[in-house]
Amino acid sequence: MSETTSTPQVGAAGMVSDRDPTDAPVMIHLDGVEKVYTPGAAPAVEKLTLDVHKGEILVLVGPSGCGKSTTLRLINRMIEPTAGRIIFDDEDVTDIDANELRRRIGYVIQRIGLFPHQTIAENIGTVPRLLGWDAERTRKRSDELLDLVGLEPGIYRDRYPKELSGGQAQRVGVARALAADPPVMLMDEPFGAVDPITRDRLQNEFLRLQAEVQKTIVFVTHDIDEAVKMGDRIAILRERSVVAQLDTPARILSYPVDDFVDDFIGSGSTLKGLHFERVSGLQIPEYPVVRRDTPREEAGRILDMSDFRWLLMLDERGRPARWLNETHLADTSRPLHEVGPVVRAMVERNATLHDALEAMITSSAGQAVIVHRDGTYVGVVQIELLTEVIGRMRREARKHYEELEATQAAEQRAAGA
């Protein structure tokens, strides 16, 4: 890890911001949607009512077999619901021609299923051709999309799928889904078939792309870490696609509503919550600081007067240099700027609290120094402050659910009256 941390690769637009994805209008509304594959058997999806808002990435996550893929395929009617309605941008599409619906929805799956005997450009042009675009427009669009997903059109447009790596093929899959600029994308474990490093890179690229194209996305995964990283909101599903909890990743990590969610998000969820807060949002108490040329006696006085056991010494350019305690001040065998441990744990203001914690742990210090981009001193964050933030996040999430419950109870009373 580098000593200073630049903008962290954090999740979708919502990750550190306070933007509420549900402020946007509803794009997809599932109303009591149900799927029974075998008559008489238990439904794979049981009366699911769910809203997906414009421009959000809603992640469906849950154990294998809980009905995630079925739910996704109900949305574009690759399979037909046995009950319920599907409303798409205020239009009831439950009974319209499914092919027509699918042209408005991009679909990306694991191992994407590119057509092996078609070039990359032809693969990307699949939907535009169906829509009757002319060859020139289709070619232009395909080049534009290759650029967008980071593949040089001159190199890749005439290649065949077998000439691509897994990561490149997955990028083409995304480009193909975006070809006709559909407002909605459905993604079923899109990055599941590549190695962890490629997956991480594809996720980051996709989040950057989404910041640009702002599609409404339903994203299926069984991996809670991927869900936390990618989702503006996460729906944690239990069997039969029953929603156990639906909320922002930060709130789910701070306040799992029951044991099922708690077990599913697993240990370390509290620490994961630190990804959602930035150092710049902290109230940092003043920390005792000395300069390289501060006389020893004065440094001693500053330490005595402070509530801390350490002083921070800055170098001649105002950058953190060394930690000094009482023992170092008493060591007159060397000049002050040569004693005391060198400052290693440093983070920039825009770093997340998780970055700050990581810096503290890797440098075995209970504190990290916050610096400007040019390395000059801003303040010191103590590990205790992170504990306080975790407590605050929990309290806020609990309050949110209590208010939600109170509102629901009031609504029920009003409906019963």
Residue numbers of the site for ligand ADP (CB under 6 A)? Answer: 37, 44, 62, 64-70
Outline where 214-238 has alpha helix (H). Answer: 224-230
Whether residue 74 contacts residue 94, with contact meaning beta carbons closer than 8 Å, is answered with no
Question: Which residue number, 81 or 161, has a Cβ lying nearer to ligand ADP?
Answer: 81
Distance between CA 118 and CA 38 in Å, rounded? Answer: 37
CB of 243 to ligand ADP, least distance (A): 13
Question: Which residue number, 26 or 193, has a Cβ lying nearer to ligand ADP?
Answer: 193
Question: Which residue number, 62 or 340, has a Cβ lying nearer to ligand ADP?
Answer: 62
Question: Which residue number, 228 or 339, has a Cβ lying nearer to ligand ADP?
Answer: 228
Distance between CA 192 and CA 110 in Å, rounded? Answer: 6
Question: Which residue number, 37 or 115, has a Cβ lying nearer to ligand ADP?
Answer: 37
Distance between CA 252 and CA 257 in Å, rounded? Answer: 8
- Residues near 311 by Cβ (< 8 Å), separated by ≥ 6? 288, 289, 290, 299, 302, 303, 323, 324, 325, 329
Question: Which residue number, 39 or 132, has a Cβ lying nearer to ligand ADP?
Answer: 39
CB of 3 to ligand ADP, least distance (A): 42
Distance between CA 82 and CA 43 in Å, rounded? Answer: 9
Nearest to 45 by CA among 13, 7, 86: 86
CB of 237 to ligand ADP, least distance (A): 7
CB of 72 to ligand ADP, least distance (A): 8
Whether residue 75 contacts residue 104, with contact meaning beta carbons closer than 8 Å, is answered with no
Question: Which residue number, 66 or 108, has a Cβ lying nearer to ligand ADP?
Answer: 66
CB of 161 to ligand ADP, least distance (A): 25
Whether residue 24 contacts residue 220, with contact meaning beta carbons closer than 8 Å, is answered with no
Distance between CA 226 and CA 115 in Å, rounded? Answer: 28
Distance between CA 112 and CA 172 in Å, rounded? Answer: 9
Phi, psi of 269 (to 5 degrees): -65, -35
